[in-house]
Amino acid sequence: MMMYLAEVGAAQLGFAAGGLVVGAVAAIFVSKFMGAQTLGNAKKQAEEILSRAKSDAQTTQKQIELDARNELAKRRENFERELEGSRNEVKETERRLQKREDNLDRKLDVLTTKEKYLDDLDAKIKSREKSVAAKEAELDNVLTEKKELLDKAREEQKQIALRMANMSEEDARRESLRLIEQEVQHEAAQLIQKSTQRAEEEAKDNALKITLQAIQRYASEHTADTTVNAIPIPSDDMKGRVIGREGRNIRAFEKATGVDVIVDDTPGVVVVSCFDPVRRAIAAEALAKLLDDGRIHPSRIEEIVEQMEKEMGQRIIKFGKDAAIEANIQGLHPKISEAMGRLHYRTSYGQNILRHSIEVAFLCQVIADELGLDGELARRCGYLHDIGKAMDHEVEGGHPQIGMDFCKKFGERDEVLNAIGGHHNDIPATSPYTPIVMAADAISGARPGARRETLEKYVRRLQQLEEIATGHNGVKMAYAIQAGREVRVIVDPQVVDDANCVYIARDIAKRVSDEMTFPGEIRVTVLREMRTVEYAK
């Protein structure tokens, strides 16, 4: 039993030991299995961490690149803004230099003109001296002749006295009165002739002196810029956008502005055409703004045109006020001032009408002051003389009559109205200010550099001038000289005598005035020269 128990105990101990060994082996296997599983999880977590790190790194990299691009764009924008500012400063400097150069050129032209006038005056003074010497010699001859006539008259009186001795008292009185009347009439005729000749010479000299002084005291700029009607475009592709689908954009633009838009094959420009200079200016600026904006459609066109019309109205009022201040014209009605502002967009042969009106105003003042008249009134007459051109495309008739009727509505003085209506000889002059305005208008339009015309019109005008001159019988040759300001006509002395020369000159001048359009005045000079040549052999 004891042995059995001992064997059983030993067996239990063996089973226990075997169980422990099995448990230990199982623990070892479990431990290894758990370790492998933990290692796999760790690797998986490591891979996930690595993947997230890579994704975060890529996101960070993209963010850094985006920030760098934004910073680069911002710096580029700042650089372009600074570069644009520098360009504007350079352009402004160039504009100022150009303006100074133009001022120097104008001053040089003025000095050249003054030098020429001084040379002419010197030549005329020398001519006058020669004329005075000739007149002194002529006066000596006249005195000698008068002495002879006096002796002859005394002899005649002696004979008359002898004859009257045999007459009755009544016959003697009648004969004496007849002789006295004849003598008085002769002396009166001589006195009238001398007085008339002296008055004409003095009038010419005074007129020349006043004209030269007026030109020298007021030196204006040369030809002004004409109204822009050719709009530059950045590329020819913009022409299609200007026209629009089936032409709806160009039709909307023409309807809103009242102008004609010409889109042809001319590269880089779109032409705006209209008789109204203000509408043409509004259309040109509106089209330029649309091209800069890039949004071209009917609603945008109406918006831009309406905006430009408001700006143009304010600009015209400002031009009128500034011009009145510059010309020192006070008390103008606002409607008259606005009409004068519209003349800023009106040109004649390239000369700006508003600048021309200011120039004529100052010239009128200088001439009136020299003549002892009211310079302020003369300046007002000259300033308003072309106001009718602001509305002559809207009202039927010539601009002198239109301007006179317009100013009459707002209570301008009779002298001003007559100067406006009569500065082209349309109505008789009733005050001395009207011929003053006519003279100042001619000076302003005829001075060198005031007006310009195209080469084609210039050549055609010279040809027409020479054709009119050569159309008379007895004219051999005719030359247009001094840029068309004078025509020299050479006649055949065998056919035309001295008396006919006067007729030919007057007839040519009349035909030129009736058939041609020209600025200023044209001088007609007829030359007749008789040459006799013989040869001694």
Give yes or no for residue 10 having a pLDDT over 60: no
Report the C-alpha gap between 377 and 367 in whole angstroms: 12
Residue 227 is predicted with a pLDDT of: 41
Give yes or no for residue 234 having a pLDDT over 80: no
Predicted confidence band of residue 498 (pLDDT cuts 50, 70, 90): confident
Q: Are 447 and 215 in contact (CB under 8 A)?
A: yes
Strand partners, 262: 271
Average pLDDT over residues 499-520: 83
Give yes or no for residue 91 having a pLDDT over 80: yes
pLDDT digits (tens, 9 = 90+) for 149-176: 777 766 766 666 656 556 566 766 776 6
Residue 41 is predicted with a pLDDT of: 82
Q: What is the CATH number of domain 455-528?
A: 3.30.70.1350
- Kindly write down the DSSP assignment for every residue of 36-89, as one continuous string: HHHHHHHHHHHHHHHHHHHHHHHHHHHHHHHHHHHHHHHHHHHHHHHHHHHHHH
Residue 223 is predicted with a pLDDT of: 44
Q: Are 478 and 489 in contact (CB under 8 A)?
A: yes
Angle, helices 169-217/433-446, rounded to nearest 10 degrees: 50
Residue 488 is predicted with a pLDDT of: 92
Residue 225 is predicted with a pLDDT of: 43
Q: How far apart are the first and last CA of the chain?
A: 201
414 alpha carbon, distance to own chain's centre: 30
pLDDT digits (tens, 9 = 90+) for 303-351: 888 888 888 888 888 988 888 888 888 888 889 888 898 888 887 766 7
Question: Which position has the token pair 């644009």?
Answer: 84
392: three-class secondary structure by DSSP: coil
Question: Which position has the token pair 């003279």?
Answer: 439
Predicted confidence band of residue 353 (pLDDT cuts 50, 70, 90): confident
Predicted confidence band of residue 519 (pLDDT cuts 50, 70, 90): low
Altogether, the residues listed in the chain come to a count of: 537
Indicate the range of 71-85, 247-261, 401-415, 436-450 predicted with least confidence: 436-450
Q: What is the mean pLDDT of the chain?
A: 78
Beta pairing, strands 475-481 & 260-262? unpaired
Residue 193 is predicted with a pLDDT of: 66
Residue 355 is predicted with a pLDDT of: 86
Q: Are 246 and 297 in contact (CB under 8 A)?
A: no
Residue 315: partners with Cβ closer than 8 Å, 6 or more residues away: 341
Average pLDDT over residues 25-34: 68
Portions of the chain given CATH number 1.10.3210:
230-446
Q: Are 320 and 338 in contact (CB under 8 A)?
A: yes
pLDDT digits (tens, 9 = 90+) for 455-496: 567 778 888 889 988 888 888 889 888 778 889 999 988 888
Per CATH, is 230-446 categorized as 1.10.3210?
yes
Identify which of 315, 362, 364, 323 has the alpha carbon closest to the alpha carbon of residue 340: 323
Q: Which position has the higher pLDDT, 42 or 227?
A: 42
**Residue 86, CB half-sphere, CA atoms under 13 Å: how many?**
6
Burial class (CB in 10 A: 0-12, 13-18, 19+), 158: exposed
Give yes or no for residue 207 having a pLDDT over 60: no
Average pLDDT over residues 412-426: 88
CA dihedral for 430, 436, 440, 442, sign (positive or negative): positive
Average pLDDT over residues 211-222: 51
Predicted confidence band of residue 418 (pLDDT cuts 50, 70, 90): very high
4: three-class secondary structure by DSSP: helix
Average pLDDT over residues 500-512: 87
The pTM of this model reads 0.48
Give yes or no for residue 7 having a pLDDT over 60: no
Residue 127 is predicted with a pLDDT of: 83
Residue 535 is predicted with a pLDDT of: 80
Residue 228 is predicted with a pLDDT of: 44
Angle, helices 334-342/399-408, rounded to nearest 10 degrees: 160
**230: phi then psi, degrees, rounded to nearest 5:** -110, 115
Greatest mean pLDDT range, 279-283, 448-452, 507-511? 507-511
Burial class (CB in 10 A: 0-12, 13-18, 19+), 95: exposed
Q: Give one word for 396, left, alpha or beta, with left for phi > 0 and alpha for psi -120 to 50.
A: beta
Q: Which position has the higher pLDDT, 454 or 118?
A: 118
Angle, helices 375-384/298-327, rounded to nearest 10 degrees: 160
Portions of the chain given CATH number 3.30.70.1350:
455-528
Give yes or no for residue 537 having a pLDDT over 80: no
Helical H runs in 165-223? 169-217
Give yes or no for residue 217 having a pLDDT over 60: no
Helical H runs in 349-482? 353-370, 375-384, 399-408, 414-422, 433-446, 455-470
pLDDT digits (tens, 9 = 90+) for 341-351: 888 888 776 67
Q: Are 239 and 267 in contact (CB under 8 A)?
A: no
474: three-class secondary structure by DSSP: coil
Report the C-alpha gap between 379 and 235 in whole angstroms: 49
The two three-digit tokens of residue 178, written as one number: 């007849």
Give yes or no for residue 208 having a pLDDT over 70: no
